[in-house]
Amino acid sequence: MTKLGIVRHGLTEWNMEGRAQGSSDIPLHEQGIKEAEMLAERLKEEDWDLLYSSPLLRAKQTADFISKKLGGLEVVTDERIRETGGGEIEGTTEAERVEKWGTGWRELDLGREQSGQVTKRGVEFVEELLEKHPGKNILMVTHGSFIRHLLKELTPMNEESEPLKNTSITHLLLDDSKWSCGLYNCTKHLEIN
């Protein structure tokens, strides 16, 4: 059985401000660093064979914290798991988008990457992982919109709608060529005892 652990990167200043990040290269906020360290502490108690990351700074920083706790597990970056390109909306808040393009801004092109493109590169990445590393436990540090597209494709029956939290982990399990979601959007590492 192959286990895919999908991690959303830690908190950034733009997350806090409600700004669309897309492919903008935003670093972790101080709080995001602390939360990434807490996630890494949790993951060191689990069994992971490989660690992949989006090359965008916020994901790579999160993956680096995980790598240290997992004994220096190599972080392999891959462009295919970067965030959905936001085009002209990157750096804007919802209020700014409505002011600039109106309430129907989602129907405008604005240079945003199309859902089909995001899903295609995500599925290609996962298929390559399965071919190269069958039966392994693989961590992937990536981004909220990308994760939603991937989950919708791999586990269409799973109708989780709760927004993905920063440093959340979702487990997908592949058994007999079928994916199932074993854990969704879990942030128990952030809970204060």
The CATH classification of domain 2-190, taken from the options 1.10.10.10, 3.40.50.1240, 3.30.565.10, 3.60.20.10? 3.40.50.1240
Which tokens in the block code for residue 182?
Answer: 């074993």
The pLDDT mean for the chain works out to: 95
What pLDDT was estimated at residue 183?
93
- Judge whether 44 and 166 are in contact, CB under 8 Å: no
Per the residue annotation, which of 35, 37, 83, 90 is the catalytic one?
83
Known catalytic membership, residue 171: no
For the segment 120-172, what is each residue's pLDDT rounded down to a tens digit? 999 999 999 999 999 999 999 999 999 999 999 999 877 777 889 999 999 99
The 10s digit of each residue's pLDDT in 45-64 is 999 999 999 999 999 999 99
90 is known as an active-site residue? no
- Delimit the domains of the chain by residue range: 2-190
36 Cβ contact list (under 8 Å, min separation 6): 9, 10, 28, 61, 62, 65, 66, 167
User: Which residue shows structure tokens 């830690």?
Assistant: 10
Q: Rounded to an integer, what distance in angstroms lies between the CA atom of residue 168 and that of residue 11?
A: 11
From the CA atom positions of the chain, what is the Rg in Å?
Answer: 16
pLDDT in tens, 83-133: 999 999 999 999 999 999 999 999 998 999 999 999 999 999 999 999 999
Catalytic residue among 9, 29, 143, 149: 9
Percent above pLDDT 70 for the chain: 99
